[in-house]
Amino acid sequence: MKHRAARVATGVAIVASALALAGCARGVRNAGYDDADGGYSSAPAFSGSAGVGCTNLKCRQKTCDGAAKTTVSGTVFDPAGKNPLYNVIVYVPNAPLEPQKTGATCARCGSVLSGQPIVAALTDTHGHFVLENVPVGKDVPVVVQIGKWRRQINLPEVHACRDNSYSDKATFRLPRNRGEGEMPRVALSTGCDPMECLLRKIGIDDKEFTAGDGDGHVHLYRGAGGGGVPGSSSAYDFWTDEAKLSKYDVVINACECKPYARGPGAYSAMQHFLDKGGRFFGSHYHYNWFTDVPGETDDAVDWTPGGQCNLGPNFVDDTFPKGKAFAEWLVVTGASSTYGQVPLSCAPLDVGRTKNKLATGWIFDGPTQAPSYVSFNTPITATDPADQCGRAVFADLHVMQEGHGDAAGLPFPNGCHTADLTPQEKALEFMFFDLSSCVLDDGAAPTVPQTVR
């Protein structure tokens, strides 16, 4: 370990999945469709294209002379259009996208993507991607996706045998609301740390924050000391309802400043949610989801609850692929001036060490080697990683910092006073999108999804 003390245009047309199936999208014809018959044109547009036997947009792939290639390049940004995102899938579909399922589902990396992609790429730590052998001509659809974040963009025209580069941050950013694309369904329990402000700052529209019975994509439940929106109900009642939990993709629990008991049935309900593909984010005192009641997640790490703030410096473990990417990304986004380090404000030492490699530590306190952020896939007891569909993370990192400006306990969004992410919040943003992504062993490197040949 190198660091461990000694580890995107104006006029872009958005085509929602269901509308794509119907053959229209707010008055704009579907990307790649032939107006005459409502389906993709299969007639080759150029000599030297894919030719006989091809279908749809694949017929518009062109063979170039010499070393020339038809490429599309750009950068994928968060919904706010501020920070580039790592490990986002970018692809050209050859068929309409199918609607995504909402709720805890098994979504491992390597699953077949919707829309029969013909070319695909992944973003690097700069959020940059290059798609090669892209179909040429007008109305070429490009999909950006990480987990259940998905947006389809209609490129007005792709020119053959050259790079078609896009620099506008808005072109390939993730959707801010359901009108722009698809988003995961998130349940967020509020507390004394205004985690809801973090999601707002990464660019999710205010109208997406609703109570549990609302139509938004971020449902606010009231935890101890937390605010909410009109109609927000108790997080403690929510946690005990396994059927309701299972309707969400991600559950985020903001720190409550004390390790309150979660209530009868809550621990087993959350465990079942995780084991069938749910995603869990627990901040600080939510360590007691793993320590209060004996269960399989007890074995993920050595828990040392009640730890004091670490003194730092804090190092990123770059010995595994995503850890190295995290260290690089922190520098790219300005969260860190030194590769492999990240400035933290009071990260309590509630984890002594990861245990038997069941969990992965991402950030470590230099003097003690104690991790401040850990992740593990579930079920923990699965002997084959391919059988793990869920993912849990625990972070001794907070949103609210002394003198920072955001405040907890107020009706949303009244406590959210700042617009820029602190270095610590940027680290949390990386972790949030990693949690939202497909499930992959932390020791493995992300790979480009398969395409239709």
pLDDT in single tens digits along all 453 residues of the chain = 434 333 333 333 333 333 333 333 332 333 443 333 333 333 333 334 455 578 999 999 999 999 999 999 999 999 999 999 999 999 999 999 999 988 999 888 888 799 999 999 999 999 999 999 999 999 999 999 999 999 999 999 999 999 999 999 999 999 999 999 999 999 999 999 999 999 999 999 999 999 999 999 999 999 999 999 999 999 999 999 999 999 999 999 999 989 999 988 999 999 999 999 999 999 988 988 988 877 666 777 787 787 677 777 899 999 999 999 999 999 999 999 999 999 887 777 778 777 666 889 999 988 888 888 899 999 988 878 888 999 999 888 888 655 567 899 999 999 999 999 999 899 999 999 999 999 998 889 999 988 987
The pair of three-digit structure tokens given for residue 13, joined into one six-digit string: 């047309």
Domain that holds residue 311: 186-436
Answer yes or no: is 294 within a domain: yes
Q: Which two tokens stand for residue 379?
A: 């079920």
| DSSP one-letter code for 308 | P
- Give the model's pLDDT for residue 315: 94
Cis peptide before 313 (omega within 30 of 0): yes
Q: Evaluate whether residue 451 is within a structural domain.
A: no
Residues 225 and 310 in one domain: yes
In a domain, 3, yes or no: no
List Cα–Cα distances, 156 to 31, 32, 35, in angstroms.
9, 10, 16
Q: What per-residue string of b and e applies to 179-215 under the rule 16 or more CB within 10 Å gives b?
A: ebbbbbbbbbbbbbbbbbbbbbbbbbbeebbbbbebe
Q: Are residues 86 and 44 in the same domain?
A: yes
Whether 430 and 355 share a structural domain: yes
Residue with tokens 């692809």: 91
Q: Are residues 111 and 238 in the same domain?
A: no
Q: How many domains does the chain have?
A: 2
Q: Say whether both 100 and 200 belong to one domain.
A: no
Query: Is residue 396 domain-resident?
Result: yes
Shared-domain flag, residues 119 and 252: no
Same domain for 210 and 279, yes or no, is yes
Place of tokens 């790490």: 301
Q: Are the beta carbons of 181 and 217 closer than 8 angstroms? A: no
pLDDT of residue 318: 96
Residue 171 placed within a domain: no
Q: Find the helix packing angle between 321-332 and 423-436, rounded to 10°.
A: 140
Q: Are residues 306 and 335 in the same domain?
A: yes
> What is the Cα–Cα distance from 209 to 219, expressed in whole angstroms?
6
- Show which of 119, 136, 165 is a domain's final residue: 165
Question: Residues 280, 427: one domain?
Answer: yes
Tell me, what amino acid is at 209? Answer: F
Local structure of 51: helix, strand or coil? coil
Instruction: Say if residue 305 is preceded by a cis peptide, omega within 30 of 0.
Output: no
443 occurs within a structural domain = no
- Does 108 fall in a domain? yes
The CA distance from 138 to 339, in Å, is 42
Residue where one domain finishes, among candidates 165, 200, 229: 165
Indicate if 111 and 220 belong to the same structural domain. Answer: no
CATH number of the domain residue 338 falls in: 3.40.50.880
Residue 177 counted as domain residue: no
pLDDT tens digits for range 387-431 = 899 999 988 888 865 556 789 999 999 999 999 999 989 999 999
**What contacts 294, CB < 8 A, 6 or more positions away?**
none
Q: Are residues 353 and 412 in the same domain?
A: yes
- Among 101, 134, 165, the domain boundary falls at 165
Strands (E), 201-308: 209-210, 218-221, 250-253, 279-283, 301-303
Q: What is the pLDDT of residue 42?
A: 33
Same domain, 106 and 197: no
Looking at residue 50, its pLDDT comes to 53
Give the domain CATH number at 122. Answer: 2.60.40.10
